A and B are shown apart, each in its own frame.
Chain A
Amino acid sequence: MFKWRTDDFSWVDFTIDVLRVIIVLGVVIGAWNTLSSGRISLAQWVNLFAAGLSQGSIYALIALGYTLVYGILLMINFAHGEVFMAGAFSTVFLAEALNRTGFLNAQPLLAILLMIAFAGLVSMSVAILLERIAYRPLRGSPRLVPLITAIGASFFLQYTFRGLYGSGFKAYPGVNALQGAIEIGGISIPVVQVFVFCAAIFLMLCLYWLVERTRVGKAMRAVSENKEVARLMGIDIDWVIMFTFGVGGFLAGSAGVINGLFRPQGVNFYMGFIPGIKAFTAAVLGGIGNIPGAMLGGLFLGVIEAIGPNLVLAGLGIPGANQLKDVIAFTMLVLVLIFRPQGILGERLSETKA
């Protein structure tokens, strides 16, 4: 796509092209340096990859909420990270209680199921309230208005939960059944990571079934195609939108619990902000509005975030590369928005509709 004609030379294109070259060069040189130095063994790479996949599956679960809402309302629910936090933060108390009764380790699967259901339902209520109070009055207003509202709602929710549950850090109790590691061909992968990945994939399959195979799913798809026609077909638009927010919220809440099993520390009111932006990145990466895209985007982002610092940044001789994990993720966000805003799999909605 290099245009080099003077009569329609665009210096914006040119700058972006230069940026592209710099990034490609940086990645190639960094990767080459790291790989040729052999500092990291194959087993370590596999471990990083596996950890990235688990983290990515959590991003994917949150990203689905962004994508579902965008698919229907064409709005970015910026407060979705806080929906995730609501579930995760509330469930810490349940997890502690279950742990104290001993139920958590006696019946880990049941306990985790209960926690997921609880977190999912709490997040779902938050998401539905959010839609009802903050977003519904703004339907049909210019695009930036709901975005600013969402930013406001995001901070409101953060500080509400800070007020309700306190500002200190809490942690999920460990589950004995998830300790240890599985050996596969000489490479050991922690059980938690396998569990997290499987649970997330299971939930995504449930969602896929819901959207593709049920009547509600059909209604959701109809509303996202064309609201007016859907209304004429007798579909209750408000209900479908609320349901969509609810489903997105449920997935975010369950992601909160799964995240708590994966990284027990660091549960507090601010825990949703960064994962929220990252999940948004994942959603855009896969093509916002596109459900399989969000899943793929999440996994992709998780892997890049795990491997990127070690492969590229360390190779470029940057100290403390792992501190810059978030920088990699946010750079991905910006790069995707610059170079491929329609995402890997493409936006599900054509531009003419948007």
Chain B
Amino acid sequence: MNMLRAENSRSILTLGLLSGAFILFTGAVGMIAAFHEREVVDDVISLGQLLLLLAPFATGFVVSDRLRASGTGSLLIISSGVAVGLLTALPTVIMLLFNSDEYRFLLDLTLKLIPFVAATYYAWQQYRIGSDQRLIIGSWLAIVVLIGIVSFSFALIFEIKGDLRSVLPNISRDWVEVVTFDHPKELMTGIATLLLVSAGAGAAGSFMVLVPPIPRQALLYGLGVTLLVGAFGETVRLILQENVDRDTLKQIFRRDTLRQDPALMLFIVSTVAGFLWAMFGQQARQGFANLEPSRRRMVNGVGLLIFAGILLMLPWLIGRTLSDVAVTIGIFVLMGLGLNIAIGLAGLLDLGYVTNYAVGAYILAVLTSIGPLGRLDGVFTFWMVIPVALLAAMCAGFVFAVPVLRMRGDYLAIATLGFGEIIGKLAISDWLKPLIGGAQGVQAIPKPVFFGTELRNPEQLYYIVLVASLVTLFVSIRLNNSRTGRQWMAIREDEDVATAMGIDTARAKLLAFTLSAATGGVAGAIFAAKVGTVFPNSFTVFISINVLSLIIVGGIASNPGIVVGAVVLIGLPELLREFSDFRFLMYGALLVIMMIKRPQGFIPSKLVSHEIRAGVNAKAAAAAAN
């Protein structure tokens, strides 16, 4: 029984090469080198190296899990992990060879051989299934020419340019340094190190499969916590800074990096904690479920109170820098909740949401600015203008919504995208320059004043965002459970039938657009007050895509999902600056992956939990019937 089945070896090969392609891709787009800048544990491992290790580790785990399910022995499992690790490193190794001076000829050779090999392989396949001879020769020639054009052209480009770097700037010295684990000079040593480390990570992944569940859970938990704390070292330090004295802090962190001993300690502590949770977590949950409803409600209430307390105290807990991030996240939560009224509740894919954001920001800027463009000499204050911005955004939403009411879903999306682009171009144009400053934008926007105190710090602005978000949340929950919410839902499900039910769909859609715009306007106004200046470059399609992504990743129509989505998608690039260059790469990939694998999002709305509950009820009913 200690033999590999064919499908198992195939899964080792494909998954191993896939993870190898992933590693090569992240290297070629510059992720690995950029992430290397951030040390996870001082002098031990950087984020870039972690990425190099995580891929074989995870793939090794997945492959071994499959092997174990088909009853393979432990030795074979470990060796499959090694194989996966080696396969993961393979594409990178090849690229290293191509990139080196001595072996560059291999690149040329490979590029020139590819068309012939591919064509011959295809022709051989055709020959085996007994195709027509002329067809075989014809397809051989066609493939040689087609692939030949591309690969010979690449060969020419690399030959003339002299090296890979002039075409692919991220196959750089930094990258070589990271993937060879600091052996950039001795290529062979570097390659050997890479293969060794990768194989080790793969083997570790498969070893995890062999560990019994409870210690495994504990180990993974400990590892996860340590690495997360390490990766977000800067954030953690900033939080601790507020509460811990400097000397202790110095012992834990070297600048923003976790030192080795505290990391080890953290690992041990969190592993133990993970172990305890794995042992007793199930019982605790069961105990909670068995509580009387009134007691359970009390526990829930206490939890909610603590959560509210944290929310209220947040700026004092996390300090200035992180409060600033919190305000940015809050602005996006606000926009996410607003756009969700259109997308999630009414099913209207609005890709021009940035329009409302821009309107709100510019209204606030022009009306309150004390600079040359503010004609009103600061007569208006922030608090007076917020309702104006809200109304103006509603008007804008209304005006842009009327023409698109009759459009079907995909056309509506593109038309709103068009509106967004039009607004962007107008904002930067000479035509409106006397009014809103063209490319220079509007400057000198005063901070809000609250009973005589100027709210100049992010800690104070945080509360404005918090209140606005809570109000939006309240409104959207109230609406969702009302007649209006049901109208929207019906339109989302089937617009024709909704009309046949007597719903004035044009009116309901208009309301959705207008209310969603209102929130965008408030978010824009807060943004303008926070930054103090308004530039047209802040209002591009990327804002709309940002908001769309966080809604979809969090879970369409799910309010907690939107908050989590905003924290992850907006917070991550703010906290890990290395990420920010790749944020749209990841948003794009996330949108595609979510649509294919998990269209309901990570924290699905009640719609889905509804379904689960219904399933449980049906089961109970079936059981009762029996």
Q: Which residues of A contact B (CB under 8 A)?
A: 12, 15-16, 19, 75-76, 78, 93-94, 96-98, 100-101, 114, 117-118, 121-122, 125, 133-134, 137-138, 141, 143-149, 151-160, 162-166, 273-274, 277, 280-281, 284, 318-320, 323-324, 326-327, 330-331, 333-334, 337-338, 341
**Contact pick for A320, options B351, B411, B431, B545, CB 8 Å:** B431
* CB-CB under 8 A for A334 and B552, given A117-B149, A118-B150, A324-B429: no
**Contact pick for B169, options A100, A138, A166, A281, CB 8 Å:** A166
Hey, which chain B residues are within 8 Å of A334, CB to CB?
A: 403, 415, 418-419, 422
Q: Is the CB of A152 within 8 A of B425?
A: no
Known pairs A97-B159, A148-B595, A331-B422; list 6 more (Cβ under 8 Å). Answer: A144-B410, A148-B349, A152-B590, A160-B25, A163-B31, A323-B425
Interface of A, secondary structure class, is: helix
Q: Is the CB of A338 within 8 A of B421?
A: no
**Contact pick for A118, options B149, B159, B161, B415, CB 8 Å:** B149
Hey, which chain B residues are within 8 Å of A155, CB to CB?
A: 545, 584-585, 587-588, 591
How many residues of chain B get a CB closer than 8 Å to chain A's CBs? 63
Hey, which chain B residues are within 8 Å of A144, CB to CB?
A: 347, 349, 409-410, 413
* CB-CB under 8 A for A163 and B413, given A137-B596, A331-B422: no
What would be 30 A-B contacts, judged by CB atoms less than 8 Å apart? A15-B402, A15-B403, A76-B410, A78-B414, A94-B153, A96-B160, A97-B156, A100-B160, A122-B150, A138-B595, A138-B596, A143-B410, A144-B347, A145-B595, A148-B552, A151-B591, A155-B545, A155-B585, A156-B591, A162-B585, A163-B29, A281-B418, A327-B426, A330-B422, A334-B422, A337-B404, A337-B407, A337-B414, A338-B404, A338-B407
Give bound CA distance, A324 to B351, whole Å.
21
Hey, which chain A residues are within 8 Å of B31, CB to CB?
A: 163
Does residue B612 face the partner (Cβ distance < 8 Å to A)? no
Q: Is the CB of B149 within 8 A of A114?
A: yes
Q: Is the CB of A148 within 8 A of B411?
A: no
* CB-CB under 8 A for A149 and B431, given A97-B156, A154-B588: no
Does residue B599 face the partner (Cβ distance < 8 Å to A)? yes
Q: Is the CB of B589 within 8 A of A147?
A: no
Residue of B nearest to A273 (CB): B541
Residue of B nearest to A152 (CB): B591
Minimum CB–CB distance from A189 to chain B (whole Å) comes to: 29
**Contact pick for B153, options A118, A146, A274, CB 8 Å:** A118
Give bound CA distance, A230 to B595, whole Å.
28
Hey, which chain A residues are within 8 Å of B161, CB to CB?
A: 93, 96-97
Minimum CB–CB distance from B588 to chain A (whole Å) comes to: 3
Give bound CA distance, A323 to B429, whole Å.
7
Hey, which chain B residues are within 8 Å of A165, CB to CB?
A: 167-169
- B residues 569-613 touching A (CB-CB < 8 Å): 582, 584-585, 587-592, 595-596, 599
Q: Is the CB of B150 within 8 A of A134?
A: no
Give bound CA distance, A96 to B161, whole Å.
9
* A interface footprint on B537-560 (CB within 8 Å = 1, 0 otherwise): 000010001001100100000000
Hey, which chain B residues are within 8 Å of A281, CB to CB?
A: 418
**Contact pick for A93, options B157, B403, B548, CB 8 Å:** B157
Q: Is the CB of B150 within 8 A of A152?
A: no
Minimum CB–CB distance from B19 to chain A (whole Å) comes to: 16
Residue of B nearest to A153 (CB): B592
Q: Is the CB of B421 within 8 A of A149?
A: no
Minimum CB–CB distance from A259 to chain B (whole Å) comes to: 18
Q: Is the CB of B585 within 8 A of A114?
A: no
Hey, which chain B residues are within 8 Å of A149, CB to CB?
A: 591-592, 595-596
* CB-CB under 8 A for A94 and B156, given A12-B406, A277-B421, A330-B418: yes
Give bound CA distance, A156 to B541, whole Å.
15
**Contact pick for B160, options A12, A97, A164, A324, CB 8 Å:** A97
Q: Which 7 A-B pairs have the closest CB atoms?
A: A163-B29, A152-B591, A156-B588, A320-B430, A155-B588, A159-B585, A97-B160
- B residues 27-79 touching A (CB-CB < 8 Å): 28-31
**Contact pick for B584, options A97, A146, A158, A274, CB 8 Å:** A158
Minimum CB–CB distance from B495 to chain A (whole Å) comes to: 12
Give bound CA distance, A121 to B146, whole Å.
8
Residue of A nearest to B587 (CB): A155
- B residues 83-131 touching A (CB-CB < 8 Å): none
Q: Is the CB of A121 within 8 A of B150?
A: yes
Q: Is the CB of B422 within 8 A of A164?
A: no
Hey, which chain A residues are within 8 Å of B596, CB to CB?
A: 134, 137-138, 149
**Contact pick for A16, options B403, B430, B431, CB 8 Å:** B403
**Contact pick for A319, options B421, B431, B590, CB 8 Å:** B431
